[in-house]
Amino acid sequence: MDSLTHIAVGACLGEAIAGKQLGRRAMLWGALAHSLPDVDFIAGFWMDTAEEMLAHRGFTHSFFFVLVFSPLLALLGQKLPGPKISFWRWTALWAAGMLLHLAMDVCNNYGTGLLEPFSHQRFSLHLLYVADPLFSFAPAVAALLLLKKSLPPVRRRLWMAAFAWCAIYCGIAAFNKQSVSNTLRQSLQQQGFSQQRMFITPSPLNTLLWYAVAGNDSGYHVAFHSVLDTDSSKIAWQYFPSNRHWLDTIADHEDLQHLIRFSQEFYTVEKWGDSLVFNDLRFGQMLGWQQPRGRFVFHYYLQHPTENDVIVQRGRFKGWNKSVALALLRRMVGQR
């Protein structure tokens, strides 16, 4: 999830665990604990882009990291001046904060290395977009209100309401995903498309319109479908050949090997001018709900690696304007 959501949720968690003992300081420590796994951004200062992508949500997002660092940070917490809490409450604060961070990140499509360093497997539920205003609204409001002085019962109701909303929203997202998944699988079967692997993930900023990718090593079919679409026969799958054979001459390049591992096999290759371009399909298309053949958000220039700064973010909102936003809203509510 985005950093602001992590801070807001962490502040509510700190209040829940240690608010009575630490006062509003608990919100600060909760926000720090919940944000700590993202310390891996430091890796970007000495790693190349492809390595950095694997480092992010890697070791610092693992159960092992939580297990090792929670008690160590608790020991440091006990030595701080000011109000005191027990070692076990400090441990609970750090562990709960980091574990909740991991749980939220697993809901996105990036992939989280929960079992590092013992396994490089990445886990993704494809349940929430990385920034979802409706999900973040309740914890953000609760955190702001908790900054004001209020009676303990009121403070308790605030953080409980925030977590209740997050749980309910995830439940709604799971229901929507399952509903859309059934429809999309039926559509693939009816149209005779074979699939070796498939995923479905939310389109930007919502859980009504979903983006689907299905296919195999030869290529992938891509489509958008809303929970509120009434005619499943109108699902228009777009086919993108994988062109994996174009990589044969550079198969031993380390950055390419990192990219393939990172993509979890959901990738295609294109030629843009004088460069081969590696597309990770998991991050969607630029304006795909409006431009079915649009380029993919995540694209990596294999022949020009210096042009790959902020690779995950650079295409996410490229070309957005009022017309694009309105088109997204219309597709969300089932209008084509």
Q: What is the pLDDT of residues 170-220, one digit of tens each?
A: 999 999 999 999 999 999 998 888 888 999 999 999 999 999 999 999 999
Q: Token match 């944000």: residue?
A: 35
Report how far Cα 221 is from the mean position of its chain's Cα atoms: 22
Residue from 114, 129, 115 nearest 2 by CA: 129
Mark whether 43 and 104 lie in a shared domain.
yes
Band (pLDDT 50/70/90 cuts) for residue 316 is confident
Is residue 309 assigned to a domain?
yes
- The number of domains in the chain is 2
Is residue 163 assigned to a domain?
yes
Q: Tell me, what's the pLDDT at 148?
A: 87
Q: What is the DSSP letter of 123?
A: B
Mark whether 22 and 61 lie in a shared domain.
yes
Q: How far, in Å, CA of 260 to CA of 258, rounded?
A: 6
Give the residue numbers spanning the domain of 326. 191-332
Mark whether 212 and 322 lie in a shared domain.
yes
Is residue 184 assigned to a domain?
no
Is residue 181 assigned to a domain?
no
Is residue 283 assigned to a domain?
yes
Mark whether 212 and 291 lie in a shared domain.
yes
pTM over 0.75: yes
Mark whether 167 and 31 lie in a shared domain.
yes
Q: Token match 């309401």: residue?
A: 161
How far apart, in Å, do the first and last CA atoms of the chain sit?
A: 29
